[in-house]
């Protein structure tokens, strides 16, 4: 599939506040907005993706070579999928360099907010790419379920080499380190299950209400 050069017209301050661990804190709102605005200038959003047939009984992406999915939660998530999309998105290495320079200069609060804004930006880029994929999958008679990334649940990040290869991530400059972290750091890989339109299956999307990580700094408390 062609490279997706996603426009980033804005970065959501509310999500940035949450990623910064400030969801329920009294903090300078203008500082958050300023970090979001700055991120729209320095981020370089790009995405790549590919569709594959999927054997949901064996948990195998029918690529060459075959890609065996490991993990009970991801297998359950894809249990009704007939095809899958493997995607990768990044907002570029320039962002990381800018954030590191901000911290180096002693602007710790700004650096924290920029880092959170960058996380928001890469998630928004993935959201935007998903919507773009709909134009290709709906005519085939499929609906997409929410994306699932390595590291979530019991899906081990050791699958990153396969994820990067099958999503053509090298074309947009994403690689992995020896510890299976993505480089540039503000990048994401994910798999999206494609379920036949007539299938009522719709897995519950994760939220703070259902997440078991009670001490997560991004958790939104109930009012």
Per-residue pLDDT reduced to its tens digit, 41-57: 999 999 999 999 999 99
Measured CA distances, 166 to 3, 86, 116, 163, 194 (Å): 14, 7, 28, 5, 16
Which residues, 6 or more positions from 172, have their beta carbon under 8 angstroms from its beta carbon?
A: 3, 46, 47, 48, 88, 89, 90
Measured at the alpha carbon of residue 50, what is the angle toward residues 48 and 54, in degrees to the nearest 5?
Answer: 145
Task: Read off the pTM.
Answer: 0.88
Closest CA to 55 of 81, 85, 87: 81
Report, in angstroms and rounded to the nearest whole number, the Rg of the chain calculated over CA atoms. 18
What dotted CATH number matches 13-196?
A: 3.40.109.40
pLDDT at 204: 64
Summarised one tens digit per residue, pLDDT across range 146-159 is: 999 999 999 999 99
Mean pLDDT of 132-143: 93
Report pLDDT for 221.
Answer: 54
For all residues of the chain together, what is the average pLDDT? 91
Lowest-pLDDT choice from 55-64, 70-79, 154-163, 208-217: 208-217
Residue 223: per-residue pLDDT: 46
The neighbour count for residue 121, using CB atoms within 10 Å, is 30
Contacts of 133 (CB under 8 A, 6+ apart): 49, 85, 87, 144, 192
């Amino acid at each position: 599939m062609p490279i997706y050069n996603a426009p980033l017209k804005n970065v959501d301050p509310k999500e940035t506040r949450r990623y910064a661990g400030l969801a329920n804190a009294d903090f300078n709102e203008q500082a958050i907005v300023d970090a979001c605005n700055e991120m729209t200038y320095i981020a370089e959003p790009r995405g790549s993706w590919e569709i594959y047939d999927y054997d949901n009984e064996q948990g195998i992406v029918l690529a060459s070579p075959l890609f065996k999915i490991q993990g009970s939660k991801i297998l359950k998530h894809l249990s009704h999928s007939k095809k899958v999309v493997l995607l990768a998105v990044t907002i570029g290495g320039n962002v990381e360099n800018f954030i590191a320079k901000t911290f180096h200069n002693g602007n710790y609060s700004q650096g924290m907010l920029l880092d959170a804004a960058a996380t928001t930006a890469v998630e928004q880029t993935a959201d935007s790419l998903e919507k773009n994929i709909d134009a290709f999958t709906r005519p085939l008679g499929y609906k997409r379920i929410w994306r699932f990334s390595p590291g979530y649940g019991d899906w081990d990040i050791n699958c990153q080499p396969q994820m990067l290869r099958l999503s053509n991530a090298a074309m947009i400059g994403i690689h992995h380190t020896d510890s299976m972290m993505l480089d540039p750091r503000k990048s994401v890989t994910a798999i999206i299950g494609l379920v036949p339109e007539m299938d009522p299956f719709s897995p519950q999307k994760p939220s703070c209400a259902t997440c078991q990580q009670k001490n997560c700094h991004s958790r939104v408390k109930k009012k």
